[in-house]
Amino acid sequence: MLCFEKSSRLSVAALKTTASGIVHLVGAGPGEPDLVTLRARKLIAAADVLVHDHLVHPALLQWCRTGCEIVYAGKTAGCHTVPQDEIDSLLVRQAKAGKRVVRLKGGDPLIFGRGGEEAAALAKAGVAFEIVPGVTAALAVGAYAGIPLTRRHASSALVCLTGHEDPAKPETQVNWRSYGALKHTTLAIYMGMGRIRHILAELVAGGLDPATPTAVVQWASLGRQRSVAATAATMADAVEKAALASPAIILVGEVVRGHEATDWFEKLPLFGRRVAITRTRDQNSELRDKLEALGAEVLELPLIRVTKQVDKDGLIEILTELGSYDWIVFTSANGVRFFFEEFFKGFEDVRSLGGLRFACVGAATARELAALHLKVECAPATATGESLADALIATGSLDSAKVIVVTGNLNRDTLVKKLETEGRAIVDRLPLYATSRTDLAADPVAADFRARGADAILFASSSAASSFASQAAALTLAKDAKRPLAGSIGPQTTETMKTEGMPVDFTAKEPSLDALVAALIKKLGNR
C-alpha cells in the first residue's frame, strides 16, 4: 500500500506528475518472467531508476524504458555487492530527487528478503512507497515440481522457514527440533542448502520420521530447474551426489510422496536444454514463448536493436495521398507498430485508411494487424519477401496498382523489384525504422552465454546471423562452455550463415518458427 493520507493507490500516469518521487518495492517472482504480475511490469516500464537483486531474471530489465538508470544491488551468500544501509540510502535519495524508483526483489519482497527493512527505512525518511507482491519460491517449487504444498489427509498446514539468518545474531531463532515434532505439516525451507545436513538432523532429532519424503528443487520455474527426491535421512547425501546448490527450496512432508506422477515440467521435450536465440531488444519473442513452453532454458541474445527512424517528408506525402493506394505491405511487426503510431497522429479513425488492402510476412506481423481489427488479405505460408511478392502477383491485382511497402534500413530489394517488374505495380517505399547492432560486451545474457554456452543457438533471420558473426569477439565461449548446434529458419538465413563462415547444423523444413522448433527437437533428440 502507499504511504499517503488520502489515497491508497496511484496510477502510473499519476506517478509521472508526482513531484516528491516514490519507491515501489516489487516482487520479481521465482525466475520465469511470465510469473511477474501485470502491476510489476507496468511499474518497471515507467521507472526512472530500477534497483535489482541477484536472482532477478535479465529479461525483466529489458522492459525498462530508454534512459532508465539500472542499479545492481545483488547479494549472494557471503558476498554483498552493496551493503543494505547503502541500498536504503539510495532508495531514499532517488525518491527525494523526484524519481520513480522500482526496487525489484526476487520472489516476494516481504518473504525472507529485506523488503520489510526497506519499507521501514522509507517510512522513517518520509518517502512514499508501494509494496507489490510476487510469487514466492515455495509456491513456484510446488507448482513446477508437481508437489502440492497442502493435501487432504496428508498436510493441513504449510510452514515457511529460513535456514540463513542474520550472521550477527548470537544464536539462531529457528528451533528446528520443535518443527520436527509437527504433524500433518509441510515444511518449506528457504536458503538452507548450506546447512541442509544439520537442519534435517535437527528435525529428525525433534521427532520427524527419518523416512519422511523430502525434495530439493533448484532454480524452480526455469529451464535449468533440477530436483532430487529422497527421505529426511538420505537427502543430504542425495543433494551432495547431485551437486545441487542455491538457489533452492527444501520441502519436507508427506506431500512429496509420489510427486513423480505429477512432475509435469521436467517431462517436457526440451526440459534441461539451454537454447540461445537471437532477437531485437525491443520485441516480444514468439520464439522464446514456444521454447519455454517445451521446457527449455532460453537465453535471448539481443544482437540487434530496432528504433523508429522516420522519413518525415516521405511519410507526409504518402499519408496525404493514402486514398490513392491499393495495397500496403508490411514485412515485420515493427513496421506495423511504427506505421500506426504515425498514422494515428494525423487521423482519429482507422476508416481513414479507405480501401487499402493489407499484405504481410509472418504470423507475428499478421497478429499486429489483427489486434487493430484489420483483415490481412495476403499472407503467404512461407515467411519470405519473395513468397509475399509471388502471392501478391497471383492475386492479379497489381497491374498499375499503387503499393506502399513499409521497410527498415536492412530490407532486401527483392520484394520491391518483383512487385515492380513481374507485377507491374507502382511501388513507394516507406522507411520507418532502422536496425542496428547491439553492444554485447557488458550484456548479462551474453556473459552467461560466453561462460556456459548452450545446447543450440537459433537464427530466425539473416540480419541476426550477420550481426552474430560481426560480434563474434563479444560472444567467444569460455574453454569449458558447451558448444551449441546452430539452427537456421530457412534457406536465406542458411545462405547468410554460410557466407559469414558460420556452421549450419540444421535448417527448418519451411521458414516458420514452428518448423524451426520441430527441427531443434529432432536434432537434439539424436544428440
Is 512 within 8 Å of 518 (Cβ atoms)? no
Active-site residue identified among 48, 99, 108, 191: 191
Cell of residue 107, nine digits: 520472489
Active-site residue identified among 75, 105, 290, 418: 75
Is 359 within 8 Å of 330 (Cβ atoms)? yes
Whether 191 sits among the annotated catalytic residues: the reply is: yes
Q: Say how far apart CA 499 and CA 81 lie, in whole Å.
A: 44
Residue 319, classified by CB atoms within 10 Å of its CB into exposed (0-12), middle (13-18) or buried (19+), is middle
> Cα 167 from chain centroid?
34
Q: Say how far apart CA 373 and CA 357 lie, in whole Å.
A: 13
Whether 311 sits among the annotated catalytic residues: the reply is: no
Strand 402-408 with 274-280, pairing: unpaired
Phi then psi for 249, rounded to 5 degrees?
A: -115, 140
Is 432 within 8 Å of 339 (Cβ atoms)? yes
Is 158 within 8 Å of 149 (Cβ atoms)? yes
Bridge partners, residue 359, by sequence: 329, 378
Write the CB contacts of 337 (distance below 8 Å, at least 6 apart in sequence). Answer: 368
Write the CB contacts of 333 (distance below 8 Å, at least 6 apart in sequence). Answer: 283, 362, 364, 365, 367, 368
Q: Within the chain, what is the greatest distance between any pair of CA atoms?
A: 88
Q: Say how far apart CA 468 and CA 462 lie, in whole Å.
A: 10
Whether 53 sits among the annotated catalytic residues: the reply is: yes
Is 326 within 8 Å of 401 (Cβ atoms)? yes
Which residues participate in catalysis according to the annotation? 53, 75, 191
